[in-house]
């Protein structure tokens, strides 16, 4: 989701998370690092990144991907209507992007949910299974979607504007239930009996939660009334643990889409919520820290120690720039159970930084790692992630962001975007025991 509301910088240093889970501080990347890689160097290093996994002596790597595809619509049922044809230009561009990158496992953020899962099937049948401009169709035998909190009325005045109702008073911002939902497509079987969802986990039940504070009162963490706290859910959409059977190995696909850390006020309720939505996965994968978590079936606890996992989604948090609460994404990037290198990159992101200039030239993070083309502020950011457990070796990675001279640049374009303001991110993983 686009984040455009300005906010003052929160910190001049980059918070990191120690193995014990306490916040520490590391030096920030020097100003201007975004331009440290020239376009020529980036092209030489990055133009082959979108090739399918190469065959080798062992099993082929498995390509995991996340794509905020902006398949959200302004009215309930509109996505089903668009996907009922084969001619919706934006959906066709989304499908072609997926066909070009060919992920084995894919999370689609901002895919409107419908109770009958009609859109889920239509997108496969009318778009992914249809060749686009010479692309090869792609078939996913397994798919999953589920209810989300966006657009679900809370019955409370959660934004404290004196009225009850509307998108900002829903459990997650949305104009109708299911807007900005999620969908997963997979070449590998999904263990449906082992799925865990955390749609209804209450924010107040997270120990040490960064609950928002009403700056007009002396009491701490009192933006929400006690009655509201008993109802407010942490996840703005949902958090899903989908066990995938990759050969003989189970890989947990941990997917979510935290709220943008903007569109609020001095209470910073969205920034704090974004931080804690990211923290949910950090606690879930860390032995000894996820015991408080309960899923929608009432089962407590985090991920079984030693389990292989891949965390994916639009986290709406950049490691160095933008408006997220200090340390938000570092809860994952600095977690000792998460593998973070090599970081997915693209030459197109570097080119757009040079062409667009402005605030992008002041960013501290490397431009090559950007995954979203946002207006100013905040400018282009890295907000979309595919983060595997250390038990899964990263064999390759990339961001689908071609340069302007590439014939496929038409799929990403510039504003108004032909597909999405986010770019598809992928990571190839060697799965032991596959």
DSSP secondary structure string for all residues of 140-185: -SEEE----SBT-B-SS-TT-SS---SGGGBSBS-SSTTTT-EEEE
| d(C-alpha 273, C-alpha 262), whole Å | 10
Are residues 367 and 34 in contact, defined by beta-carbon separation less than 8 angstroms?
Answer: yes
Residue 405: closest CA among 345, 344, 347: 347
List, in order of start, the domains of the chain with CATH numbers: 31-430 (3.60.10.10)
**Quick one: pLDDT at residue 43?**
52
Reply yes or no: is the peptide bond before residue 377 cis, omega within 30 of 0.
yes
Our CA dihedral for 134, 136, 140, 145, rounded to 10 degrees, sits at -20
Rounded CA gap, 134 and 400, in Å? 18
Per-residue H/E/C for 30-66 = CCCHHHCCCHHHHHHHHCCCCCCCCCCCCCCCEEEEE
Contact call for residues 256 and 238 (beta carbons, < 8 A) = yes
Distance CA 310, CA 103 (A): 14
Residue 405's alpha-carbon distances to 163, 411, 426, in angstroms, are 51, 12, 22
What string of pLDDT tens digits covers the 434 residues of the chain?
Answer: 433 323 323 333 333 333 333 333 333 443 344 344 445 555 544 544 445 555 555 789 999 999 999 999 999 999 999 999 999 999 999 999 999 999 999 999 999 999 999 999 999 999 999 999 999 999 999 999 999 999 999 999 999 999 999 999 999 999 999 999 999 999 999 999 999 999 999 999 999 999 999 999 999 999 999 999 999 999 999 999 999 999 999 999 999 999 999 999 999 999 999 999 999 999 999 999 999 999 999 999 999 999 999 999 999 999 999 999 999 999 999 999 999 999 999 999 999 999 999 999 999 999 999 999 999 999 999 999 999 999 999 999 999 999 999 999 999 999 999 999 999 999 999 999 88
- 41 three-class SS: helix
- Can you give the pLDDT at residue 53? 52
Per-residue pLDDT at 433: 84
E strand or H helix that includes residue 221: none
pTM of the model: 0.90
Taking alpha carbons only, the member of 320, 64, 322, 297 closest to residue 198 is: 297
CB 316 within 8 A of CB 274: yes
Calculated CA dihedral for residues 173, 80, 144, 58, nearest 10 degrees: -110
pLDDT, residue 59, reads 83
3-class DSSP state of 92: helix
Token pair in block for residue 36: 């440290």
Q: In whole angstroms, what is the distance from residue 25 CA to residue 14 CA?
A: 6
Dig out the tokens for 371 from the structure.
């995954």
**Residue 432 CB-density burial (10 A; 0-12 exposed, 13-18 middle, 19+ buried):** middle
* Residues linked to residue 66 through DSSP beta bridges, in sequence order: 107, 425
What pLDDT does 73 receive?
A: 98
Sign of CA dihedral 308, 313, 318, 324: negative
- Of 78, 280, 261, 67, whose CA–CA distance to 173 is shortest? 261
């Amino acid at each position: 989701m686009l984040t455009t509301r300005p906010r003052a910088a929160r910190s001049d240093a980059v918070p990191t998370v120690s193995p014990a889970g306490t916040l520490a501080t590391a030096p920030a990347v020097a100003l201007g690092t975004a331009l440290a890689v020239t376009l020529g160097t980036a092209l030489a290093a990055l133009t082959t990144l979108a090739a399918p996994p190469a065959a080798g002596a062992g099993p082929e790597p498995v390509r995991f991907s996340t794509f905020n595809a902006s398949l959200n619509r302004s009215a309930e049922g509109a996505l089903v209507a668009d996907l009922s044809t084969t001619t919706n230009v934006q959906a066709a561009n989304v499908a072609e992007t997926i066909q070009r990158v060919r992920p084995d496992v894919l999370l689609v953020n901002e895919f409107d949910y419908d109770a009958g899962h009609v859109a889920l099937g239509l997108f496969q049948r009318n778009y992914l299974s249809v060749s686009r401009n010479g692309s090869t169709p792609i078939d996913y035998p397994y798919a999953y979607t589920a209810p989300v909190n966006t657009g679900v009325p809370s019955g409370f005045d959660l934004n404290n504007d004196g009225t009850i109702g509307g998108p900002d008073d829903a459990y997650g911002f949305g104009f109708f239930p299911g807007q900005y939902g999620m969908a997963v497509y997979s070449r590998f079987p999904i263990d449906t009996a082992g799925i865990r969802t955390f749609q209804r986990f209450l924010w107040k039940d997270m120990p040490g939660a960064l609950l928002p504070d009403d700056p007009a009162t002396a009491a701490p963490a009192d933006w929400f009334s006690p009655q509201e706290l008993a109802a407010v859910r942490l996840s703005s959409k949902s958090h899903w643990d989908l066990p995938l059977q990759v050969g003989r190995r189970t890989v947990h696909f941990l997917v979510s889409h935290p709220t943008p850390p903007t569109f609020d006020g001095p209470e910073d309720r969205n920034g704090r919520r974004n931080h804690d939505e990211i923290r949910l996965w950090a606690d879930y994968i860390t032995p000894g820290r996820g015991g408080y978590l309960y899923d929608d079936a009432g089962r407590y606890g985090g991920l079984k120690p030693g389990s292989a996992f891949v965390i994916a989604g639009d986290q709406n948090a950049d490691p160095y720039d933008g408006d997220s609460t200090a340390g938000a994404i570092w809860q994952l990037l600095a977690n000792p159970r998460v593998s973070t290198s090599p970081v997915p990159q693209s030459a197109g992101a570097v080119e757009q930084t040079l062409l667009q200039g402005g605030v992008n030239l002041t960013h501290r993070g490397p431009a090559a790692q950007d995954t979203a083309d946002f207006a100013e502020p905040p400018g282009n950011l890295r907000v979309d992630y595919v983060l595997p457990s250390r038990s899964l070796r990263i064999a390759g990675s990339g961001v689908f962001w071609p340069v302007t001279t590439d014939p496929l640049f038409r799929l990403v374009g510039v504003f108004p975007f032909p597909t999405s303001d986010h770019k598809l991110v992928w990571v190839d993983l060697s799965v032991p025991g596959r």
